[in-house]
Chains A and B, each alone.
Chain A
């Protein structure tokens, strides 16, 4: 085996949590397979620092790549893959991992398993396990061509312990041109973590009854526990929350360690977006609400009574 290559994403030079998460998982797989872990970095970021997470070598295409284009990213990665010739590629199932990664897979004429939540080494190969049909079904995926490419849902694996040591950095040149130009970037109004990467999420549903209640009950609860705000489609359609906050099949797929659902019934399309959350808390006054079948902890009560008290209790922690 010539190793596992992690495509490490960064935001203006700061590596995303997914980068170290994937290097940690790759190290575990590499130990089982008797191979090495390297990383790929496109753009200006402190590549050598990935050594602390467990990457031996880092292949870097330098230069300003902050203006993202799928074609340019895929060909920069392609140049790195040609230099590193890995057997396995791991990347985050982020926007870029859903946009540029399949394009890379087409350029490499190989196969890809999308959004896996588990990875294991078996018989000298890496096998991924992934949800399909919005999480109603799970299956193993194995790639018969090389490199085997997997995108991984963020927060699927623990962060590696912080090590020390610098990775050896190999500079790779890539000549491809971007096919699109970024005209404008519109920042979101909120400053909390993105839903898809958030460790904690507080979501509100139709039961909130108004945007004002949503703002006065759900947002303070989320703020008190450092969570990102989510919403059901019913809440979004009614205008209580914005579409970018929708969790579910036609919204975001999330994977936090803590998901609090207040006044959400737990429709299959909502569950599709959050069922892999590690701990689910449901607050609903209907004891028959399907969300309770999926909750780690359930509170059968009026959310307008529970949430303000819970906000206070979190603030006092």
Chain B
């Protein structure tokens, strides 16, 4: 079995974001990490390999200079065998479909038949790329998975749907799975593994190597007018003893906010 992981290096959750004065762009300060949901995907791939054998390969679209150290430290050091980094000037402004197209081609070229993704990237919060990859490849997909097992060429996955409903679904490989929190507990990298990860192969591919043209990944989504969240009018602290504040809160909710 050949197992793939799609992992994106993004700004960490506590990064500071500052939109430019004209809203045309923004800057972030803080560290970069492999997305937290992608870490569940990495762990699941490694556990699947430990149970059934096979090769694991992580795919990312990004600049090698930005992503390599995170991929080594957070993905290869946890037991993934190899990294494929797709980098091309035409992908610099790619939208989700452009990224998905590049990843789908890279996945196809590696002959992978099981792919784990994070349920979402924590920068763009798009929740688009994995389903697009599955659509482009014509594969089965199961999103927000909290339990997964593979047996020969068939799989079973439990997905967390809306309303607290969970469903167990089954099907045959190839399949693309997106990881929800709770799927597993990601391990920590140990020093020897970190050292070993430095020697693991990383391969860089451009669009031509994947048989894609720049037009094929041209963005259709444009993002502009970056700004901070809308300010809410500063809140009201309700003063008084407990009985008074409770009565006043109920009055405000009914008469001022009109939500009761």
A: which residues have CB within 8 A of B? 68-71, 74, 94-95, 98-107, 109-115, 129, 131-145, 179-190, 193-194, 196-197, 200, 225, 243-244, 249-251, 257-258, 268-269, 272, 275, 278-282, 287, 292-301, 305-306, 309-310, 313-314, 317
Contact = CB atoms under 8 A, between A and B. Distances in A.
B65 interface: no
Given A182-B168, A196-B162, A249-B122, A106 B132 contact: yes
B152 interface: no
8 contacts: A104-B135, A114-B128, A145-B220, A180-B142, A181-B169, A297-B236, A299-B238, A306-B242
B235 A132 contact: no
Given A102-B135, A111-B219, A310-B249, A132 B168 contact: no
A297 B128 contact: no
Main secondary structure of the interface of A (DSSP, over half): mixed
A179 B238 CA distance: 55
Contact of A141 (B13, B166, B222): B222
A278 B258 CA distance: 11
A112 B221 contact: yes
A122 B203 CA distance: 45
B181 interface: yes
Given A95-B162, A110-B220, 19 more contacts: A70-B131, A71-B138, A98-B131, A99-B141, A99-B143, A112-B96, A132-B123, A138-B230, A139-B227, A141-B223, A179-B175, A183-B170, A189-B164, A193-B163, A258-B257, A282-B235, A298-B237, A299-B238, A310-B249
Contact of B165 (A140, A187, A278): A187
B36, B123, B136, B164: residue with the most chain A Cβ atoms closer than 10 Å: B164
Interface string B195-227: 000000000000000000000000111111111
Contact of B125 (A70, A100, A105, A115): A115
Interface string B7-24: 000010111010100000
Interface string B245-260: 1110110111001011
A250 B36 contact: yes
B226 A139 contact: yes
A287 B175 CA distance: 50
A133 B169 contact: no
Nearest to B11: A133
Contact of B162 (A69, A102, A141, A197): A197
B127 A114 contact: yes
B125, B136, B167: residue with the most chain A Cβ atoms closer than 10 Å: B125
A188 B164 CA distance: 5
Interface string B114-156: 0000000011111111111111101111111000000000001
A136 B253 contact: no
A101 B129 CA distance: 11
Contacts of A186: 165-168
A94 B162 contact: yes
